[in-house]
Amino acid sequence: MRVLVVGSGGREHALCWAIAASTLCDALYCAPGNPGIAADATCVPIAATDIDGILAFAQKEKIDFVVVGPEAPLVAGLVDKLEAAGIAAFGPSALAAALEGSKGFTKDLCAKYDIPTAAYRRFTDAGEAKKYVRAQGAPIVVKADGLAAGKGVTVAETVAQAEAAIDDALTDNRFGDAGAEVVVEEFLVGEEASFFALTDGKAALALASAQDHKRVGDGDVGPNTGGMGAYSPAPCVTPAIEAVVMETIIRPTLAAMAKEGRPYKGVLYAGLMLTKDGPKLIEYNARFGDPECQVLMLRLKSDVLPALLASRDGVLDGFDLRWHDETALCVVMAAEGYPDDPKKGSAINGLADAAASDPDVRIFHAGTKILDGQLVADGGRVLNVAAMAPTVAEARSRAYAVIDRIDWPQGFCRRDIGWRALKG
x/- track of binding to ligand GLY for residues 196-215 (CB under 6 A): ----------------x---
8 A C-beta contact, residue 138 and residue 157: yes
The site partner of 220 among ligand AMP, ligand GLY, none (C-beta below 5 to 8 Å per kind) is: none
8 A C-beta contact, residue 389 and residue 326: yes
The site partner of 155 among ligand GLY, ligand AMP, none (C-beta below 5 to 8 Å per kind) is: ligand AMP
Closer residue to ligand GLY in complex, CB, 226/263 = 226
x/- track of binding to ligand AMP for residues 222-261 (CB under 6 A): --x-------------------------------------
Which of 271, 278, 306, 314 contacts ligand AMP by CB under 6 A?
271
Q: Measuring CA to CA, which residue among 63, 55, 71 is closest to residue 12?
A: 71
Q: What residues contact 359, with CB distance under 8 A and at least 6 apart?
A: none
Q: How far apart are CA 75 and CA 96, in angstroms?
A: 8
The site partner of 10 among ligand AMP, ligand GLY, none (C-beta below 5 to 8 Å per kind) is: none
Which of 10, 32, 227, 342 contacts ligand GLY by CB under 6 A?
227
- Is residue 283 a contact residue for ligand AMP (CB under 6 A)? yes
- Is residue 42 a contact residue for ligand AMP (CB under 6 A)? no
The site partner of 185 among ligand GLY, ligand AMP, none (C-beta below 5 to 8 Å per kind) is: ligand AMP
Closer residue to ligand AMP in complex, CB, 108/192 = 192
Which secondary-structure segment (H or E) carries 193? strand 191-200
Q: What residues contact 369, with CB distance under 8 A and at least 6 apart?
A: 34, 35, 375, 376, 378
Which of 162, 282, 335, 413 contacts ligand AMP by CB under 6 A?
282
Q: How far apart are CA 125 and CA 83, in angstroms?
A: 39
The site partner of 168 among ligand AMP, ligand GLY, none (C-beta below 5 to 8 Å per kind) is: none
Q: How far apart are CA 53 and CA 385, in angstroms?
A: 31
Please, which residues bridge with residue 333 across strands? 383
- Is residue 378 a contact residue for ligand GLY (CB under 6 A)? no
Cβ of residue 108: shortest distance to ligand AMP, in angstroms?
16
Closer residue to ligand AMP in complex, CB, 187/319 = 187
Which of 290, 300, 363, 398 contacts ligand GLY by CB under 6 A?
290
- Is residue 161 a contact residue for ligand AMP (CB under 6 A)? no
Which listed range, 18-26, 181-189, 256-264, 368-376, lies at the site for ligand AMP (CB under 6 A)?
A: 181-189
Residue 390: asked if its preceding bond is cis (omega within 30°), the reply is: no
Cβ of residue 62: shortest distance to ligand GLY, in angstroms?
31
Q: How far apart are CA 365 and CA 41, in angstroms?
A: 13
Q: Measuring CA to CA, which residue among 9, 7, 5, 10 is closest to residue 384?
A: 10
Strand intervals (E) in 304-344: 327-335
- Is residue 178 a contact residue for ligand AMP (CB under 6 A)? no
User: Which residue has the CB atom at the shortest distance from ligand GLY?
Assistant: 227
Which of 58, 166, 188, 351 contacts ligand AMP by CB under 6 A?
188
Q: How far apart are CA 162 and CA 170, in angstroms?
A: 12
- DSSP letters along 227-293, please? -SEEEES-TTS-HHHHHHHIIIIIHHHHHHHHHTT---EEEEEEEEEEETTEEEEEEEESS--TTHH
The site partner of 303 among ligand AMP, ligand GLY, none (C-beta below 5 to 8 Å per kind) is: none
Q: How far apart are CA 140 and CA 123, in angstroms?
A: 15
Please report, as ranges, the residues that interact with ligand AMP according to CB under 6 A: 118, 141, 150, 153, 155, 185-188, 192, 214, 224, 271, 282-283
